[in-house]
A and B are shown apart, each in its own frame.
Chain A
Amino acid sequence: GNSVTQMEGPVTLSEEAFLTINCTYTATGYPSLFWYVQYPGEGLQLLLKATKADDKGSNKGFEATYRKETTSFHLEKGSVQVSDSAVYFCALSRTQGYQKVTFGTGTKLQVIP
Chain B
Amino acid sequence: NAGVTQTPKFQVLKTGQSMTLQCAQDMNHEYMSWYRQDPGMGLRLIHYSVGAGITDQGEVPNGYNVSRSTTEDFPLRLLSAAPSQTSVYFCASSYSRTGVGETQYFGPGTRLLVL
Contact = CB atoms under 8 A, between A and B. Distances in A.
Contacts of A100: 45, 48, 58
Contact of A98 (B42, B56, B103, B109): B56
Contacts of B109: 42-43
B41 A105 contact: yes
A97 interface: yes
Contact of B43 (A41, A42, A45, A89): A89
Contacts, number: 66
Contact of A97 (B92, B98, B102, B104): B98
Interface in A36-86: 36, 41-46, 49-51
Interface of B: 4, 31, 33, 35, 40-45, 48, 50, 56, 58, 90, 92, 94, 96-104, 106-109
15 contacts: A32-B101, A32-B102, A41-B108, A43-B107, A50-B101, A93-B101, A93-B102, A98-B97, A99-B96, A99-B102, A100-B45, A100-B58, A103-B43, A103-B44, A105-B40
